[in-house]
Amino acid sequence: MRNYFVVSDDFFYIISSVVKKVKCFRQISSGWTNFVFEVKTRKKKYIFRFPRNQFWAKAIEKECAVTLKLCEKNLGVQTPNLQLRYFENKPFSFHEMISGKPLSKCHLTKRQKQKLAGQICLYLKNLQQQKINLPLSLTSQFLKELSFVSGDDYDLSKHSALEQLEQTELVLCHGDFNSGNIIVKHKKLKGVIDYSFASYSSGYVDLARLVSRLDKSYEPILIKEFEKCFDKKIEETIFDQLVEVWKYVDFKYICHIKNCHPEISLSKN
């Protein structure tokens, strides 16, 4: 029996068995990881995520364990209080929606970017200081496993800069710290979502992930705030190599979706 979901599954039936008085629901993401739905009841809004394959079924269970631990911590921002459920042996998660919008959809002035960058770096510092006592893999190992899902001709040597850094430093990382997972409200950092890539790695990994997805105007601002927050200088060459690792991960993801899942609409962010 499969432990993941397919297009033909009755998502409305599953959702309505968990939350009552569903007013409306709509699919808001159609990626290779999960079927994602926004659900509105009379009083609340929820996000439901249903894994598309066995790899992401395992990842969603891990994510729920991670967020359970992080909700007990003070990270200075809102962490989704994920609830793990099963339908016919298939895991899925849901949580109350964090109000705001992703950074990828925000238009900020330079001054607003500076303030937000400082809040983002403080969040990363708080996250890296956490001890959550879970057997998470290294980010490089997670990306290696992910490469097997994304198809053939993946060049794992592209991860070498990341693997080298992990030999000298390991801290807790979000793992997929991109602009779509950063929730902003009133120009301030409100919350961080999607911890399915959570892992241990270099303290530069999350910042490099974010820079790889943002326009160039953010990079000097984020680096400056990071160096001030962590009181250390970023080695530019190493950081640039990490950014390239993440760009390669995204490139192979896009290639895989275009070649194997043409029905999936890719977001620009």
Reported as a single tens digit per residue, the pLDDT across 102-130 is 999 999 999 999 999 999 999 999 999 99
CA distance 172 to 199: 6
The answer to whether 78 and 110 are in contact (CB under 8 A) is: no
Q: 136 in a domain, yes or no?
A: yes
Of 94, 92, 82, the closest CA to residue 4 belongs to 92
Query: Is residue 192 located within the same domain as residue 256?
Result: yes
Which pLDDT value is given to residue 37?
A: 95
Indicate if 131 and 167 belong to the same structural domain: yes
Q: Which domain holds residue 68?
A: 11-96
Choose one of 96, 114, 132: the last residue of a domain. 96
* Domains held by the chain: number: 2
> With 60 as the cut, is the pLDDT of residue 269 above it?
no
For residue 30, name the pLDDT band (cuts at 50, 70, 90). low
Distance in angstroms (rounded) separating the CA atoms of residues 109 and 145: 39
Contacts of 78 (CB under 8 A, 6+ apart): 98, 183, 190, 191, 192
Q: Do residues 144 and 30 both lie within one domain?
A: no
* pTM, entire model: 0.94
Average pLDDT for residues 263-267, to the nearest whole number? Answer: 68
Element (H, E) at 229: helix 219-230
Mean pLDDT of 81-97: 97
CB atoms within 10 A of CB 38: 15
Q: What is the pLDDT of residues 150-183, one digit of tens each?
A: 777 899 999 999 999 999 889 999 999 999 999 9
Residue 267 counted as domain residue: no
CATH number at residue 45: 3.30.200.20
CATH number at residue 121: 3.90.1200.10
Residue 184 and residue 225 in one domain: yes
SS3 (DSSP) at 34: strand
